[in-house]
Every structure is written in C-alpha cells, then in structure tokens.
Structure 1
Amino acid sequence: MVFTIDSLCKKYSGKAVLSDVSFSVDKGDIVSLIGPSGVGKTTLLRILAGLEEQDSGSISFETPPSKNNPVIMVFQDYLLFPSLTVFENTAFALKARKLPASEIAKRVNTILEFFHLSDKRKQYPAQLSAGQKQRVAIARAMVVNPAVLLLDEPFANLDRNLKLETAEFIRDTQKEFGITTVSVTHDLEEAFAMSDKIGIMLNGRLEQFDTPSALYNSPESIDVARFLGPVNILTPELCTHLNIPAATIPKGRDYAIIRPEQLTLTQGTEARINRVQFGGHYIKYSLQVQNTELTAYGFTAQFAEGDTVGIQVSQQ
C-alpha cells in the first residue's frame, strides 16, 4: 500500500464533512472519488495534500512525504503562471530544487513530448486551450516524479467531447509513469474509463470502495446503485410474478438491484409497455408490472407502446 486512511473525520462549524472514511491505495493505482457536490471529496484531497488537517483518524504513508517523495495536488483551475511559457511552467519545481540546467531540459522536454506539448513549449497559458492547460498542469506535477498525484476535478473545465479522451489520456500517462493517483470528480463515465478503484462518497461517508465493474454490477446499497445510474428494485413478489429465479435476490437481502440493460423483453403477458423512447444507442422501455414501474434497455424497437411482454434477467 502507498497509503492507508483510517477512520478520517472532519467538521466545519460543527457540521460533519467527512465521517469515518477508511480505504487504502495500492502503488501505481489510479483511484477516483466520486459523489455529488458537498460530500467532502475535495476536503479529503486537501487533507491528503497536507493543506488541511483532519479532526480525527489517521493517514499512514508507506514512505512519508518529503521533498524527494512529494504528494502533489493539481487544482481544477490549473494555477499556471501566466507570465511563464509552457516549458518554464513545467520546469518551475525542478528549478526550485536547483537541478542542473541540462537535467531540467532533459526531463521537461521528455515529458512535454509525451504530453504532446513539444510544439507549445514557448507559448504562454493564455495561448492554450483548456485541454492543453490541463496537460501542462499535470505535466508540471509529474515531472518531479511525485509519490502521489492528486487531481481535483480534472474534467471540470473541459467540454464533453474532450472529457473521455482526457480520461483515457490520464490513464495511459499514469500507467506509463507508474505514479499513484487519486482523483475527485463528478463524471461517472470518465471515472469508469480511467480508474482501478472507485470510491462512492455520499453525505460525507465512503459508501463503497471497489473496482468499477464491482461497483456498477454489485452495489452494496440502493443509494450507491442509484448514484451510478438507473436501477430497478425487484422484490420477491415481483420475481415470482415475472417467473424470475429467486436466486436473483442476493443472500441477506429482500430485494435485487437490476440495471435496465440486464432486463430482456420476451413474448409474454407479465408486463405492459407504457412508453418507448429512442435514447441514441439504445431504446428505453418503461414497463408497468403490477403497481411497479420498471425500465429496460434494448437495441431495437421490437415492441410498441401498449404491448404486453415477458421479462428475463441476465446476470452480469
């Protein structure tokens, strides 16, 4: 483990912002903390960066942070020096460490080439796009080979078309350099695309911490499931009515959490289609089953509003 957080708590003006947060991060992993605004994600990042102190709990690093083993945070506004060029911004921390000019040039030119910024090395931040500014900020942080890289809302200032591309770039870059990374974000799709582990934070608590696939397919609570996207809640009575195997409901629960894409419509009379909507790469079916409304996704509009259908559940 690079670091372990144990029972971390933080309050502002008597209001709990972080409550009993615990998790560990493995060396070389990229971890995303996601959740709505105001749940303590950035506060946790700032505590990791040493910019704030927790009220209780602990953070244990395998190797304590130091000048040669730093924890570096990249803020969502990038905080580039406007009067310095791309090269000078990237080289700033190396110059502060008084490294030889030849070593600085070698390290900066290498990372700018990797970040596809070599042709921008003499330009100033005002001449760059939002995506280019972000890459400069991350390059400036990574050039010192930090022990842990912290990213605060890395997609906040990017348009939709750039977000997924940037998530893939961050993952490729992080894996190439092997730098342990923790990111806080609101963007679910981008977090899924780049993360080894994801933590879901709701109301100041870390509700679940797991791999992206485990979180999505096996959420530990309805709140986590709904935060990650639309879900259907199947009770034992609904399963019986739909002829769905009882084993669909996990042991210890009285309900099953089923994603719309796990429902397949068949010939039958157990459910009625109330609405059919075109959703781009899928068709959304709104279904009435007794007194419950369910949602199913399909790839073709093979059924129409008013049709009666059967439902099968596929386990992912």
Structure 2
Amino acid sequence: MIHIKNISKSFDNKAVLNNVSFSIGDNAITSLIGPNGIGKTTLLNILCGVLSPDQGIIECETPYFTREIFTVLSGNQHLYAKNTVKENIYFLSTLRGLSKGEIKSNIEKYHTYFPLYDSIQGSLFEELSFGQKQLTTIFAALVANSQYLFLDEPTEGLDLAHKKQLASVLSLIKQFKTILLTSHDLDFVSSLSDELVFINNAKIVNISKSLSKEQFLKVYETIYGEEQGNENYLL
C-alpha cells in the first residue's frame, strides 16, 4: 500500500495540489477523478519521482518502491519506435535486472492476458495501432516485474474494441498488481475502479469505494457540475 500524506505543489504561486492525502490499496484499481487540468497528472508525476512536492511525503511498505513503478503517461512514447515488440520487451526487462530465462518465463506467464503478442512480437513498435501500443506497453511492464502500474488517461485515443480489451486486462491483473489510473473517461473508470479519489480546487473532495454508474455520475455532477458530467460521460 502507498500512503500519500499532505502533498502540496504549486506552479507560479498557483496551488495545483493542496494538502492532498489518501492511500493506494494493493491488488486494486484506484482512480484519480476530475476534468483536465485539475492536478491528476501532477500528482502522478510526484508519485513516480518526476516531480518533487513542495511539502508532504509518500510512504510505502515496499522499500525502494519507485524502482517497481511503471508509468504510462498520456501521449508519450514509452518504447523504442524502431525496435520490434519482442526487442522492446527484452530490453526493458533487462534494464530492470531480469535474465533472459526470467523474461521468457514472464512472457509465458502473462501471455494469457495478451494473446495478441504472438501476432505482433516481430512488428516494429511504430507500426502498431495506438491501442496496440498501449496494450504492448502494459505487457512490457508486467514482464519487467513492475508491481505498481500508474496509467495516465489510458483510454485516450483508443477505439471501443481496444478500450474493452484494456478494461479486461486491468480487471485481471489487479489481482496481483497495484494500479493507479488518472482519467476523465467517466464510463471507463466507473465500471473498473475499486476506489475513486475526486480532486477539485487542488484538494481531495471525495473518496468513494466502488460506485454504480448512476451513483458515480451523481457524485461527479455534485462536485464538478452537471454539464461537465454529461460531457465526460459520453467520451
């Protein structure tokens, strides 16, 4: 479990996060909720060590837990475009200290969750569709033994088929991984999340366990307004 305690961050004297505290549970999907520009990605960057908070601490029961984090940031290229899928997976896992035998074993272990690997392992990463790139990146993180998966707007740019496939994969792997999502795709997170953390005006304003779509939309509209809720629920 990861504990975020009293995290604050400002840019140009404007508070983006103000005394934010919550916990990310093991073997579960926690989602940071809010419209674009609300501070979700900033918090994600603090958690994975890209940014330092102005104040506050992050505690984890796993020593050196940042080494076990794999973060997929929205719109970023996470694997090498000119390498094949297989080359990327082996390279990333080697950087994490795995032997070739361990990598092969992990590919077999997680193959059930990514059956498309057989058909694309020889393809250059740049040749994949956007959805295939997202799924391949998550597969690479699993093979590399990343315990914590932080996904920033993971459905952005995905068609319906890949979105459903991603939801299915995340639902399965949460049994043995800790997953944090940031998203304004309300339909996706409401159906998938075990815990929902709502951010508004730089603060945590609501933390809820699993909600039905109707309950989720009601909470969202109460916090952000009916117009925001309707707009984002149709994404």
User: What TM-score does the superposition give when structure 1 sets the normalisation length?
Assistant: 0.65
Residues 1:42 and 2:41 aligned together = yes
SS of the residue corresponding to residue 86 of structure 2 reads helix
Give the partner amino acid of 1:203. N
2:126 corresponds in structure 1 to 126
* CA distance 1:8–1:99, shift in 2 (3 Å): closer
Tell whether the 8 Å contact from 2:26 to 2:178 is kept in structure 1 after alignment.
yes
| Other-structure match for 1:87 | 86
Amino acid at match of 2:157: N
Quickly say closer, same or farther: Cα 1:65–1:224, change in 2 above 3 A: farther
Higher RCO structure (Cα 8 Å, ≥6 apart): 2
Larger mean Cα displacement after TM superposition, 162-171 or 214-223: 214-223
Shift of 1:114: 2.5
Correspondence for 2:159: 159
Structure 1's 220 and 157: CA in aligned 2 closer, same or farther, altered over 3 A? closer
> Which has the larger strand fraction?
1
State the Cα deviation string for residues 177-230 of structure 1 (Å, max 9, x = none). x10010101100100121100111122221111113186387499325748846
> How many residues of Structure 1 are paired with residues of Structure 2 in the alignment?
226
What amino acid is the match of 1:213? L
Query: Residues 144-202 of structure 1: CA distance to partner in whole angstroms, max 9, x if unpaired?
Result: 22232110110112124533442233222333xx1001010110010012110011112
In 2 relative to 1, CA 58–162 (structure 1 residues): closer, same or farther, beyond 3 Å?
same
Aligned to 1:201: 199
Q: In structure 2, what is the equivalent of residue 7 of structure 1? A: 6
Paired with 2:149 and 2:106, the residues of 1 have a C-alpha distance of 18
The structure 2 residue matched to 1:190, chosen from 188, 191, 196, is 188
**Structure 1 unmatched runs, 5+:** 231-316
Superposition pairs of residues 113-152 of structure 1, within 5 angstroms: 113-116=112-115, 117-152=117-152
| Alignment match, 1:55 | 54
Q: Provide the rounded CA distance (Å) in 2 between the counterparts of 1:220 and 1:191.
A: 12
Counterparts of 2:189 and 2:151, CA distance in 1: 12
Measure the CA separation in 2 of the matches of 1:22 and 1:224. Answer: 20
Amino acid at match of 1:75: L
Match of 2:20 in 1: 21
SS of equivalent to 1:213: coil
Aligned partners of 1:8 and 1:58 also within 8 Å: yes
Q: Which amino acid aligns with 2:147?
A: A
Q: Displaced runs of 4+ in structure 1, greater than 3 A?
A: 217-221, 224-230
Alignment of 1:251-266 (within 5 A): none
Structure 1 residue matching 2:104: 3-state secondary structure: helix
Identity over aligned pairs, percent? 31
CA contact (8 A) 1:31 1:197 kept: yes
Q: 2:30·2:179 contact (CA, 8 Å) conserved in 1? A: yes
Q: 1:217 to 1:15 in 2, by over 3 A?
A: closer
Residue 157 of structure 1 aligns with an amino acid whose one-letter code is: G
Q: How does 1:265-276 map to 2 (within 5 A)?
A: none
Report if aligned partners of 1:168, 1:193 keep a CA contact under 8 Å in 2: no
User: 183-192 or 203-212, which moves further after superposition?
Assistant: 203-212
Q: Which residue of 2 aligns with 1:71?
A: 69
Cα distance in 2 for partners of 1:123, 1:62 equals 39
Q: Specify the alignment match of 1:106 in structure 2.
A: 105
**Alpha-carbon shift at residue 40 of structure 1 (Å):** 0.6
Q: Check 1:87–1:163 CA distance in 2 against 1; reply closer, same or farther (3 A cut).
A: same
SS at match of 2:21: strand
Q: What corresponds to 2:170 in structure 1?
A: 170
Name the residue aligned to 2:95: 96
Contact between 1:167 and 1:191, CA under 8 Å: does it hold in 2? Answer: no
Structure 2 unpaired stretches of 5+: 231-235
2:32 corresponds to: 33
Q: TM-score, normalised by structure 2?
A: 0.86
* Deviation sequence 1:237-294 (CA, Å, 0-9, x none): xxxxxxxxxxxxxxxxxxxxxxxxxxxxxxxxxxxxxxxxxxxxxxxxxxxxxxxxxx
